[in-house]
Structure 1
Amino acid sequence: MKKLSLFLIGLLLVPALFTSCDRGEEPTDGDFVATPAFTLMKEYMVDNNLDINNIKGTKGQPTFFVKPAPAEADLATFLDTYYLMDIRSSADFAAARIDGANNVPFSDILTTAATTTKPILVVCYTGQTACYATALLRLYGYPDTYALKWGMSGWNAATSGKWDNNIGTIANGHPNWSDTDTAPTNLTFDDPTITTSLTNGQAILQQRVEAVVAAGFGPATVSGSDVLNSPGNYFINNYFSEGDYAAFGHIEGAYRILPFGLGDDSYKALNSGSNAQLVTYCYTGQTSAILTACLRVLGYDAYSMTFGMNGIYNDNPAWTSNQWGGDSGPKNLPIVP
């Protein structure tokens, strides 16, 4: 009888040994359900300081995602500190660049990052594509990566055309711009669905980053005029503080989801639907690029509204910082052909 009891106990323990090593749930009908890839990736990111706010960094701290162009007296130290990864076209790079910069195609940012031990400073035309690349590099395992704020437009007046020519005021008086409405109540949505054969959170994250890099930044952008003229086509997140949402005004119907992170489930306020084009806009298009990169990796159909508030309402009287042509503009730092 004792041998029979031990045998029965052994039979009960065998399934437990096999299932304890798998990530999944055992529903009442007995069918095993694997943990969704999104959940595996999310848990890995939270556990390894890769939540969205960690990727963006804290303003005023060394980890903040942008670095402004230096004062002329600090130029030599600045250039010696960073590996300058200029992701503009080869023609524009050849015409005018920062001395010591390296021209790197966007598609090669991950492999190139592995070749240097220096902190990486990504350079583009306006800072927007560089911010997108910075987020992807940080997610991939290069936390000491930054974007040059305002891009080459902020470095020298001779290379400032991409910002000079893309500020606008179309929101002023536009019927889809509101100065009075409060933000809609945030909703709750399901997690995005990620299709992969991988079952390891880190491997899923790396696979997702590689796919987003391969797609480039262009498909992840939408113009401010498109969003302003047809706000009903998008799920819009105005990434402003509550005070700025009211002071600046906002696109009609825009939500205000700030912050959003994975660890506290605040990200669930973002629409994950398959037909939902999730557009984030900020002041300059640089923060929204960082956030959009993270969201695309997470499986959202996400877009960054290019040039942000500067692109649609540059003359808004509420500006106190980050207004191109106001408190911000090009410096006169050297460029070389």
Structure 2
Amino acid sequence: MKKLKYFLMLFFLSVGSFANTYTSYVPAGIDPPDEFTTLVEFLEGKVDFLKGDFPIISGDEVKNNLRNDGFHIIDIRTDSWFEYGHIKNAVNVPAEELLTYFQTKINPSDYEKIVLVCYSGQSAGYYSGLLRIAGYDNVYSMKWGMSTWREDFAETWLKNIKPSLEDKLETSLNSKADPTTHPEINTGKAGGEEILQTRLQELFAIPYSDFILKPVDVFESPQAYYTLYYGKTDDYTKGHVPGAILYEDGNSLQFNNDLLSLPKDKKIAIYTTTGQKAAYLTAYLNVLGYDAGNIAYGENGFMNNLLKKHGRDAFSTKEINMFPVIE
């Protein structure tokens, strides 16, 4: 009997030792998947605006669909501005509550288009980006924000369109950095969906103002930023922020392309013509753990006159309507 007990003890010890060895074994040269890679692979092909298809719609389209039950308008401005004047049937939802609103207050699939509206289209673009990344593919931002809706809301854009830094632009072609290591994400989750949900909850808790960069700061200290211009080559070569690097619109920032050329330990300053596309990209890169910010109002914030000269997307009084509001 004693021999049998001794044999069984040796057997279970051996099995336990084998199991521990087996579960901790990782083949040589193969790293276990990290959260960044898991998240990127989970999002691969699902984020449509990375292909250049940005879900930004005009105020005219919103106006023409005010009686369309398939349109749901969400105004993320402060309640005081909302009460001063808002689009008919719009609901006022604080930006930090948007994810909860989508998950618990509405059935998003009931709508053809859910339109986020803010002051200028910048923060609406950022939060629309987060919601698109979350899988809500019927979310849109309204171009120019409430500045396009009525004259008394337009000051947000009118006071920020400037030509003041046009003489400091450069035209040389700057090269992308070589591929490097990616940021570390440490949510403690294993699957892509769980990692994404945690990252979204973290980012919705941070105000968009934390991701805004002033044009003058980037011009005065270009070495402090990895400046990314997302657009077309022809526009880039007409003049860009000193040190800015071109990432082609619709052909960049994907894992199998040049995503890993971005630094993980330096502020990434993103800009586009109006800043609204850049807001979407800022959302995506921050979800992945990069330290990204949006240069406020894009090229309109420092070279508005040149945009007008070249017939590009410049804000002007022509963009301002006199649509009705609910007061």
TM superposition score category, shorter chain reference: 0.7 to 0.9
Conservation of the 8 A alpha-carbon contact between 2:229 and 2:271? yes
8 Å Cα contact 2:50-2:253 kept in structure 1: no
Partner of 1:215: helix, strand, or coil? coil
3-state DSSP of counterpart to 2:82 = helix
**1:43 aligned residue:** 41
Query: Separation in 2 of the partners of 1:204 and 1:73?
Result: 38
Residues 66 and 88 in structure 2, CA contact (< 8 A), matched pair in contact too = no
TM-score (norm 1): 0.83
Match of 2:204 in 1: 213
Query: What code does the residue aligned with 2:39 have?
Result: M
The whole-number CA distance in structure 2 between the counterparts of 1:128 and 1:202 is: 27
Residue in structure 2 matched with residue 272 of structure 1 by the alignment: 264
User: Separation in 1 of the partners of 2:78 and 2:232?
Assistant: 35
Q: Which whole-Å CA distance do the structure 2 matches of 1:245 and 1:283 have between them?
A: 10
- Pairwise CA distance, 1:269: 1.6
Between the aligned partners of 1:195 and 1:204, the Cα distance in structure 2 is: 9
User: Deviation string for 1:149-171 (max 9, x for gaps)?
Assistant: 11000111121110011111121
8 Å contact kept, 1:66–1:149: yes
SS of the residue corresponding to residue 120 of structure 1 reads strand
Among 186, 193, 204, which residue is 2:195 paired with? 204
In structure 1, the gaps of 5 or more residues are 1-10
Aligned to 2:153: 159
Partner of 1:330 in structure 2? 320
In structure 2, C-alpha distance between the alignment counterparts of 1:295 and 1:153, rounded to whole Å: 27
Deviation digits for residues 103-133 of structure 1 (CA, Å, limit 9, x no counterpart): 0001110111231422310000000000000
Which residues of 2 match residues 6-85 of structure 1 at below 5 A?
25-27=26-28, 33-46=31-44, 49-51=45-47, 54-56=48-50, 58-59=52-53, 64-70=54-60, 74-77=64-67, 80-85=69-74
- Whether the 8 Å contact between 1:67 and 1:147 is mirrored in structure 2 is yes
Contact 1:122 1:148 in 2 (8 A): yes
Counterpart Cα distance in 2 of 1:303 and 1:189: 20
Q: Please identify which structure carries the higher helix content.
A: 2
Q: Alpha-carbon deviation of 1:138? A: 1.1
Q: How many residues align?
A: 305
Measured in 1, the distance between the counterparts of 2:56 and 2:177 equals 29
Which structure 2 residues correspond to residues 181-260 of structure 1 after superposition, within 5 A? 181-247=172-238, 249-258=239-248, 259-260=251-252
Shift of 1:73: 7.7
Task: Work out whether 1:122 is the aligned partner of 2:116.
Answer: yes
- Displacement after TM superposition at 1:37 (Å): 0.5
Structure having the higher Rg: 2
Q: Is the CA contact (8 Å cut-off) linking 1:186 and 1:255 kept in structure 2?
A: no
Letter aligned with residue 239 of structure 1: Y
CA shift for structure 1 position 293: 0.4
TM-score normalised by the chain length of structure 2: 0.86
Contact 1:167-1:311 at 8 Å conserved across structures: yes
- The change in CA–CA distance for 1:112 and 1:72 in structure 2 (over 3 A counts) is closer
Deviation at 1:263, TM superposition (A): 4.2
Offset, 1:34: 3.2
